[in-house]
Amino acid sequence: MPSPSPVPSRSGRGDRRSDFPGLADGWAYLDSAATAQKPGVVIDAIARAYGPEYATVHRGVYARSATMTERFEAARQTVATFINARSPSEVVFVRGATEAINLVANSWGNSLEAGDRILLSALEHHSNIVPWQLLRDRTGIEIDVAPLTADHRIDEDALEALLTPRTKLVAIAHVSNVLGSVADVTRIAAAAHSVGARLLVDGCQAAPRIAIDVQASGADFYVFSGHKLYGPTGIGVLWARSDILDAMPPWQGGGSMIETVTFERTTYAPAPQRFEAGTPHIVGAIGLAAAIDYVNTIGLGTIDAHERALATQAREGLRQINSVRLFGPENSAGIVSFALDGVHPHDIGTILDESGVAIRAGHHCAQPLMTVLGVPATARASFAVYNGSDDVDRLLDGMRRVTRIFG
């Protein structure tokens, strides 16, 4: 197959690797689905925000605080534009997608009652399973699970068949963190709405590579984490339609999320401030905005095509190695999971590390999916804008070494 076209960099080189200070020469970093490396522009933005620009937001009357408040709220606008939200007031800053889903479960979810149902899929991350189980234990709701197709996509026909008038929420991953399969969010949204249910989308793996249009998608909630989008850890996004946010009670109490407080009664600020108790992760939001700006200079379409080409190259090469089993669809979105008969994925990961190749090995916070796949764990290579064909070649060379070691 033809090699993927290099993604032009600001430095003029034919690839983006030089934009990332954390990428040592000779190191193939193939664990971006866990967390992406950070470009220099993001690191610089964080350093400035923690250094000569630092101040609190929303409270100070002095000039630097006002400037920092403007930058913080400009970051909210950057996120809103990135996902095509109607207004920045629909964007809630949280610590990550995990906190965003827990926020929905603990605020919106408290309106549910025994007998109501939530529909998940078999490929969900633990962060999109456990919060709903905790809600089930509190309220008596029930959880349904849509199966997968033979090529490891969400079976959308089966999902639709599981919907009932008692279904109040469908919660699915836009892109599987194990399989790279992409859900038809628009179709699932229409199906959910046909029975009066809401749709929550886990966009952690989609945000770094697929253009997100929350209005066109029909989603009611959309969540993602900054650190998978080339931004810092500790910052994430919950988007929800304004009418839904306005009807949701606060989840956490403290400063910033109030209008007035007395010992007798407290009134709360409107969304999104109602859901951002305490001093926010100011620098995290600024770093996330810098990461979005960086991605936008390249173009998500370019990134997605580049990563899919690398994933295809990896799948074709791995298929030539005896006893390798591949998971997920052929056209996966930049993520390839595999297993080698008789070899634990942790051993694969250790030997590859000795060869300068970093992959993830384990259940990937998706233990129910491992049961469906019939394995305890998988090895996973995940690609990003800074990877190239040479990284795939190193992976394949390393896997051939694994087979030699284990016979």
Instruction: Quote the CA–CA distance of 203 and 205 in Å, as a whole number.
Output: 6
Residues 269 and 365 placed together within one structural domain of the fold: no
Q: Which residue of the set 365, 370, 372, 375 is catalytic?
A: 365
Residues 59 and 145 placed together within one structural domain of the fold: yes
Q: Of 296, 314, 349, which residue sits at a domain end?
A: 296
Asked if the structure places residue 72 within a domain, the reply is yes
pLDDT at 124: 98
User: How would residue 8 be classed by pLDDT, with cut points 50, 70 and 90?
Assistant: low
pLDDT digits (tens, 9 = 90+) for 272-316: 999 999 999 999 999 999 999 999 999 999 999 999 999 999 999
Closest by CA position to 146, among listed 181, 122, 173, 130: 122
Q: Of 263, 296, 329, which residue sits at a domain end?
A: 296
pLDDT digits (tens, 9 = 90+) for 53-91: 999 998 778 999 999 999 999 999 999 999 999 999 999
Residues 21 and 99 placed together within one structural domain of the fold: no
Residues 250 and 112 placed together within one structural domain of the fold: yes
Strand pairing report for 236-240 and 91-94: antiparallel
pLDDT at 28: 97
Instruction: Quote the CA–CA distance of 94 and 223 in Å, as a whole number.
Output: 10
Instruction: Quote the CA–CA distance of 247 and 341 in Å, as a whole number.
Output: 52
User: How would residue 161 be classed by pLDDT, with cut points 50, 70 and 90?
Assistant: very high
Residues 251 and 311 placed together within one structural domain of the fold: no
pLDDT at 377: 97
Give 44-105 as a DSSP string: HHHHHHHTTT---SSS--SHHHHHHHHHHHHHHHHHHHHHT-S-GGGEEEESSHHHHHHHHH
Averaged pLDDT of the chain: 95
pLDDT at 7: 62
Asked if the structure places residue 5 within a domain, the reply is no
Asked if the structure places residue 248 within a domain, the reply is yes
Asked if the structure places residue 37 within a domain, the reply is no
Asked if the structure places residue 234 within a domain, the reply is yes
Residues 323 and 217 placed together within one structural domain of the fold: no
pLDDT digits (tens, 9 = 90+) for 124-158: 999 999 999 999 999 999 999 999 999 999 999 99
User: How would residue 9 be classed by pLDDT, with cut points 50, 70 and 90?
Assistant: very low
Asked if the structure places residue 4 within a domain, the reply is no
Find tokens 């963190």 and name the residue: 177
Helix, strand or coil, per DSSP, at residue 240: strand
Whether the link from the prior residue into 272 is cis, omega within 30° of 0, is yes
Instruction: Quote the CA–CA distance of 17 and 31 in Å, as a whole number.
Output: 15
Residue 172: domain span:
44-296
Residues 322 and 174 placed together within one structural domain of the fold: no
Asked if the structure places residue 3 within a domain, the reply is no
Positive or negative, the CA dihedral 121, 126, 127, 132 is positive
As for how many domains the chain has, the answer is 2
Residues 320 and 279 placed together within one structural domain of the fold: no
DSSP state of 187: H
Q: Of 296, 326, 355, which residue sits at a domain end?
A: 296
Asked if the structure places residue 275 within a domain, the reply is yes
Positive or negative, the CA dihedral 339, 341, 346, 348 is negative
pLDDT digits (tens, 9 = 90+) for 180-222: 999 999 999 999 999 999 999 999 999 999 999 999 999 999 9
pLDDT at 407: 78
Residues 68 and 142 placed together within one structural domain of the fold: yes
User: Residue 17 is which amino acid?
Assistant: R
CATH (domain of 248):
3.40.640.10
Judge if pTM exceeds 0.85: yes
pLDDT at 2: 44
Residues 243 and 289 placed together within one structural domain of the fold: yes
Residues 218 and 168 placed together within one structural domain of the fold: yes
Q: What angle do CA 218, 329, 378 make, to 5 degrees?
A: 110
User: Residue 296 CB: number of other CB atoms within 10 A?
Assistant: 12
pLDDT digits (tens, 9 = 90+) for 327-345: 999 999 999 999 999 999 9
> Is 365 an active-site residue?
yes
pLDDT digits (tens, 9 = 90+) for 348-369: 999 999 999 999 999 999 999 9
pLDDT at 68: 96
CATH (domain of 321):
3.90.1150.10
Residues 383 and 260 placed together within one structural domain of the fold: no
Find tokens 């992406």 and name the residue: 36
Closest by CA position to 378, among listed 300, 325, 307: 325
